[in-house]
Amino acid sequence: MTDEKILSVRMHGEHIGLLEQTSTGKMQFTYAVKAPYRLSIGMEVQEQSYDEIRTEAYFGGLLPESEMARKKIGQRYGVNHNNSFALLKAIGYDCAGAVSLHSTEEPMAKASKVFSLKGEIFSQSELHQHIQELPKKPLFLGVEALRLSLAGVQDKAAICLIENKIAIPTDGCPTTHILKPAIKGYDGIIQNEYLCLKIAARIGLTVPKVEIRWAEKTPYLLVERYDRLIKNNKVSRIHQEDFCQALGILTAKKYQSDGGPNFKSCFDLLRNTSQPVKDRNVLASLMVFNYLIGNMDAHGKNFSLLHANNVQIAPVYDVLCTNIYDDLAKKMAMKIGGYYEIDKIHPRHWERESKEIGYSYPALREIIYKQAEDIMKAAEIEREQMKEAKLFDPIVDQMLQFFDKHISQTLKKFDRQ
């Protein structure tokens, strides 16, 4: 008989351990003997069970953060929305990375490593309806047999792209893309994220494929999942974890001001990857990029590690110029040189941060100068391309005005040195 309080944790289709809800209602994770894979860079294979904090940090980090989304999922499956174990049991078949959660009695054959790309394609009207219902039915909740989870606050859904059309996966096929609709009250947010990702790609950062599409007259952002490999109509999972999971930090503490990661802990984490120097250079570029584009929300869950043939920092994701929205925070998620406010940061603070994270200040200064020039050029090019492709929104010009002002002020501070 199945134990209702224990789930089989599988990676690439193989059993690696057990997730258990203890008598206190908390979770603990125990690796299987000779587990074939490591769950996290911060959770080495060992005999002893991992405690509730480390377990919640990793597994709770797989779930949506929105209180409303959790409530809707809880209502749909008849479970307490505050109970991470119950939610994972309900929707944990397709999570970020290569992890999936199963009944201990479910055959391994149902969680193979490679899947045929299969799904039911939505009509435009069906897709439009599902997008409209996302706030009430997070993750396309209610679509028959759909059991998947995405972390984050924003309403979104994981889907498959089949014959270049949006589909819901069937026969256990993992999702291949993330669909992100507009957010009420934040004009042009789709074009905002699209432009930031395109600029990032143009200046040399690694980003997933992204495009703006419409369901009838409703726009949405379609982002290819970097934790999936799609080849010859076959899909396989690539394992990944965000920095909070890797560091054992609860999702609720993802911001530095709440006790979450700072840049030092992030740079120290990258000393454990396969190519630490390369990955730390990437993180330095991301730190500068988020600062220059005014992305105040670059917290510990917006940086990740990919576990493929080696461990490396993941591509850029969830980047926005948040600074242009009046009701969003004007403080960065992580301090630079002791300050959260971008207008208070001067060269001496970058130098102080360099010492803190163990990174060359001249090298960091060179990144700032190079990106300052490249971002403006890339933004102008992408603006014209968005106009030609009829993707333009007035938010684009607001973003370029902010970039120009903020980058100019940053360079003046360095020139006065």
pLDDT of residue 71: 86
pLDDT of residue 121: 94
pLDDT band at 149 (very low <50, low <70, confident <90, very high): low
Top-level class of domain 249-415: mainly alpha
pLDDT of residue 280: 98
Express each pLDDT in 224-282 by its tens digit: 999 999 999 999 999 999 999 999 999 999 999 999 999 999 999 999 999 999 999 99
Q: What is the mean pLDDT of the chain?
A: 92
Express each pLDDT in 83-141 by its tens digit: 999 999 988 888 899 999 999 988 875 556 889 999 999 999 999 998 888 777 655 65
User: Domain map of the chain by residue range?
Assistant: 6-105, 114-231, 249-415
pLDDT of residue 391: 96
pLDDT of residue 145: 47
Q: CB under 8 Å to 397, separation ≥6 — which residues?
A: 383
Return the active site residues: 297
> Six-digit token pair at 285?
């570029």
Query: Which amino acid is located at 170 in the chain?
Result: T
Helix (H, G, I), strand (E, B) or coil at 236: strand
